[in-house]
Amino acid sequence: MTLTRAPLRTAAPACALACAALLVATAAPAPGATPASGASAASSVSGASARTPSVRADAERLAGRLAAEVTAAGAWRHLEAFQRAADDHDGVRAAGTAGYDVSARYVTRRLTEAGYQVRVQRFSFPDSVPVSQTAQVTGPDPRTLHPLLARFSPATPDGGWRGRLAVLPEKAYGCDAADYAGDVRGHAVLARYGGCDLARKTELAAAAGAAALLVNVDQQPAAMNIRSTVRPPAVARVPTANLPRGEAERLAADAARGPVDLFLDLRGRAVTTDSYNLLADTPAGRADRTVVLGSHLDSATEGPGLNDNGSSAAMVLETALRLAPHRDEVRNRVRFAFWGAEEEGMIGSGHYVGQLNDRERRETALVLNFETIASPNYARMVYHGTGAVPPGTDTVEKVFTDRFARRGLPTVPLEFDGRSDFAPFMAAGIPAGGGSAGYNHLKTPEWQRLFGGTAGELTDPCYHQTCDTLSHLDRTILGQFGDAMAWATARFAVDVSDVGTARGR
């Protein structure tokens, strides 16, 4: 799940991050893979064919069989492989790392053994890596802080910066010029996390004359910190870093009693990172009604990413393996996608969509996307498509909510907020659906009543942390989302007529 987002307080425009990224595409096969291409040529997606009872019955039969065969136990074997990949390579599986490559080779091998032809789609993107992340309180209570430098943040002056802290009003996110009405000129400003895009905060802080921007990651647990990204990079105006809630709240309390002096040495280095997507198609099925089932394979740079998003990638892989013996029943081509560099701003999925021509976009019936489907303090969330653009998205949502309801499992809506790999597809007019068990969402009392767990805590307390490991995952919700994923994939592999009708095709 991409870092450059606010937790449910704001909705970033779809594809805002992915479409802003500079992508330099190349094509080269990976071991066991062949070069990728766009969707095959054929006639456009059509809902004109009659939605006969026999077609729908065929869809339900295949959906029922596949849902029974796709299990948490099967996905768990893949998760164990992802955990080993991280353990053996510095604890991460981020884009451009050996941990990602090992994960990708495992996926390629398993798909190839099942009879799929796996294709690799390579791309490059600009990135920023930290060089110095030093922050110290020099008075009145000296101590060391633990910031995470934002990607594409400008640097502090050579030798570091010394100055005073200015804390924005308690309820201010730093998203409005009025938030900076106090004495902030020449000071390091402390603002709340969320409320708007980080780029807007940096612009407003710079306009007010701030020397730096520190963001309070005001989430549980108190020591949790995440790395954010300023996109587009050109708008970054002041050195920017996130602080854990515990450290930020102590700073604010100190500032309420009197001046707080800081030393900051925040510097990053621009790099170009290479990564790739993995794509595999069912050998049968109409290419002009392609159903894309995808999840990002990469982790954040802060941890191994077994929930975010190994859980979803493992279940997509398991769905592909279990569908392989049923290939003769597939009427619409299914494309299984394992996206790279989602954590850097949906780079891989954005590149994929950007490479499609008009015909190929029309031939993509829908995309199914999943994020963090094994969260320990979970909420059962389904992407909310009612009234959404593009048309047909509400139809996809209903397939998921109906499946969960049939099993007596309540759901809550998850808004499309531009924060995952569905965003580039929706920006291109392609219907989307799927769900999540939660990431940096605070569980509400109502969610606790529906799903159990603990209100007031994150659905995934290890979101973008080193503790996002196999032992952290919940098998029950993993299996429930696996059932829904398999059901919807098989259903649309046979029948997308109602989605096509909603799109006016």
Q: Which residues are catalytic?
A: 342
Beta strands in 218-363 (DSSP E): 240-244, 261-281, 286-296, 332-339
**Using CA of residue 388, residue 335, residue 504, residue 400, what is the dihedral sign?**
negative
Q: Tell me how many degrees the CA angle 108-109-115 measures, rounded to the nearest 5.
A: 90
SS3 label, residue 329: helix
Per-residue H/E/C for 370-412: EECCCCCCCCCEEEECCCCCCCCHHHHHHHHHHHHHHCCCCCE
How many Cα atoms are found within 13 Å in the side-chain-facing hemisphere of 130? 19
CB within 8 Å of 200: residues ≥ 6 apart = 175
What one-letter code names the amino acid at 223? A
For residue 82, how many other CB atoms are within 10 A of its CB? Answer: 27
φ, ψ at 333 (rounded to 5°): -55, 135
- Nearest-angstrom CA–CA distance, 14 and 418: 4
Residue 377 is encoded by which pair of tokens? 């303090």
Contact 304, 469 (CB under 8 A): yes
Q: Are strands 24-26 and 118-139 parallel, antiparallel or unpaired?
A: antiparallel
